[in-house]
Chain A
Amino acid sequence: MLSPLHKQLLNDFQQNLPISATPYQDIALSLGVTEDDVLLAFQELQDQQFIARIGSVIAPNLIGVSALMAMAVPTENLIKTAEIVNQYPEVNHNYERDNRFNLWFVLIAKDKSSLQTVIADIELTTGYNTLYLPLIADYFINLGFEIDFDD
């Protein structure tokens, strides 16, 4: 399953992959393994879907404008409504949640007026009102998520 190297890579490199011409070599040096070991371990983590990707994570609302939206949909209409909502390319995530407000999706558009247009259109095509829940503040603390490997 997961080797000590896998676990180290998962927990210690969520924040600060070196901005260097050879970042994997730098990681290898810091861990006392070879660059090939690091590349192979990352590839395995990726192939087995333990990691979504290795990449940059961007602060919200710097590119485009986004908002969390919620809708209260009668259960019998949920799938049909979700299908209508999902057709909008501005919809990124859409989750069913166990609440009276049972449909939760994230919209992202190029600016605020496009966002408002899409919201109005979604309300019209689905026939349901939305809760518009944009970010007011983001209490972002720059710490990685510590993965507990004990079962």
Chain B
Amino acid sequence: MIDTLDYQIISLTQTGLPLTPQPYQTIADELGVSVERVMQKMQQMTEQGIIRRIGVVPNHYRLGYTHNGMTVWNIADEFVDEMGTKVGQLDFVSHCYHRPRHEPEWHYNLFAMVHSKTEQGVNQQIQIITELLGEYNLGQDVLYSTRILKKTGLRVGGKRV
């Protein structure tokens, strides 16, 4: 599905495009292929959904979004896709995932990351999700990060991608 050139292009573009007039030319030169080939591959990977987006990756924290909550929900498994699709569409939700429960100590199977400039804002967002889920919501919690203990770029098997 992903060939070597795709992989190399992903490696070079996801860490940041050069801020020069012809960024894809720089990448093409580095890989020893034509700029047309690089752009064709980028286009293809975008159409296939391998590349989700190409653009600005904002630093939410620096932009004032200091309250980032991992909201977790207990939704009956047969409804989780339907509910996840709804929650994922909310404009303040950046990521929304179905993950397994681990009974008895972890009941939550739907995760939604929310971002706000205030704690009150996060509480309002949780209220909106609660109303949206209605009777499908069997329990919920929110976990705030209190410390970043490690943050690195994407690596696979210890090697930087």
A residues contacting B by CB (< 8 A) are 9-10, 13-17, 19-25, 35, 39, 42-43, 45-46, 48-59, 62-64, 68, 70, 72, 82, 85-86, 89-99, 101, 103-105, 108-110, 114, 131-148, 151
Is A56 within 8 A of B60, CB to CB? no
- The reply to whether B143 and A99 form a contact with Cβ atoms under 8 Å apart is yes
Q: How far is the CB of B39 from chain A (nearest CB, A)?
A: 5
Please determine whether B16 and A53 come into contact, CB atoms closer than 8 angstroms. Answer: yes
The chain A residue sitting closest to B152, CB to CB, is: A92
A25 → B minimal CB distance (Å): 7
Interface size class on chain B is 35 or more
Instruction: Sample 10 A-B pairs with CB under 8 A, ordered by A number.
Output: A14-B55, A19-B46, A21-B25, A23-B23, A55-B57, A57-B52, A63-B154, A98-B143, A138-B95, A138-B96
Contact present for A22 and B22 (CB under 8 Å): yes
Residues in B with CB closer than 8 Å to A151 are 64
4 smallest beta-carbon distances between A and B, as pairs: A89-B158, A139-B88, A53-B16, A64-B156
Closest to A130 in B: B102
In the complex, what residues of A have CB within 8 A of residue B115's CB?
A: 145
Can you name the residue of chain B whose Cβ is closest to the Cβ of A70?
Answer: B106
> Using Cβ atoms and an 8 Å threshold, which residues of chain B touch A90?
155, 157-158
Please indicate the chain B residues that have their CB under 8 angstroms from the CB of A93 in the complex: 148, 150-152
Known: A14-B58, A21-B24. A64 touches B88 (CB 8 A): no
The residue from B22, B55, B150, B157 contacting A21, defined by CB atoms under 8 A apart: B22
Q: Which residues of B contact A148 (CB under 8 A)?
A: 117
Q: Given A17-B55, A21-B22, A55-B54 in contact, is the A141-B150 Cβ separation under 8 Å?
A: no
Known contacts A56-B51, A93-B150; is-contact A62 B60 (Cβ 8 Å): no
User: Could you tell me if A54 and B7 are in contact, using CB atoms closer than 8 angstroms?
Assistant: no
Give the contacts of B38-94 with A (CB-CB under 8 A): 39, 42-43, 46, 49-60, 62-64, 70, 80-81, 84-85, 87-89, 91, 94
